[in-house]
Amino acid sequence: MATFTDYLKFKTKNRHEFINITPDVNRVIKKSKIMDGLVLVNPMHITAAVYVNDAESGLIKDFQEMLQRLVPTEGNYKHNLTGEDNAYAHMWRQLMGHQVTMPITDGELDLGPWEQIYYAEFDGEREKRVLVKIVGDRHCE
């Protein structure tokens, strides 16, 4: 059993962004040389989420509208009394999901027909890191 750790690093351009990181995660898997196992993808920020779904722009717009409906950005939140303005972003993260664990088969993500891994940023415009932790076997028999 082997392990491998790497980080995706990027700077988000907007306060709210949905970024398809599937190709980046696959690059890390190739770099790890792990052929069969699991990959954990964790946004290392408390106002961001990682989730798996369809890579379709209408769906992303639907997610944005749903989040705004459920937890408006301009709500009256106790957390914002601390001088912050991002209470909504913490709650959006909980709604969208913290992290994902996905299977690796034959050295690649083993995704369903439409599945893609997304990084969802809710309080951006700064440097971000995503942990990619892989556990598995380097050689399949």
pLDDT of 60 higher than 90: yes
Residues 6+ apart with CB under 8 A from 69: none
Per-residue pLDDT band for 139 (boundaries 50, 70, 90) equals confident
**Cβ(36)–Cβ(105) under 8 Å?**
yes
How many angstroms separate the CA atoms of 137 and 53, rounded? 27
- Tens-digit pLDDT profile for residues 95-121: 999 999 999 999 999 999 999 999 999
- For 76-91, what is the mean pLDDT? 96
Of the candidates 20, 28, 5, the residue with the CA atom closest to the CA atom of residue 121 = 20
Per-residue pLDDT band for 130 (boundaries 50, 70, 90) equals very high
- Mean pLDDT (the chain) is 96
- State whether CATH 2.60.120.460 applies to domain 2-137: yes
- For 33-61, what is the mean pLDDT? 97
**Cβ(80)–Cβ(47) under 8 Å?**
no
pLDDT of residue 67: 98
Q: pTM here?
A: 0.95
pLDDT of residue 141: 53
**Cβ(26)–Cβ(109) under 8 Å?**
yes
| Orientation angle between helical segments 87-96 and 57-70, nearest 10 degrees | 130
pLDDT of residue 140: 54
Q: What is the DSSP letter of 141?
A: -
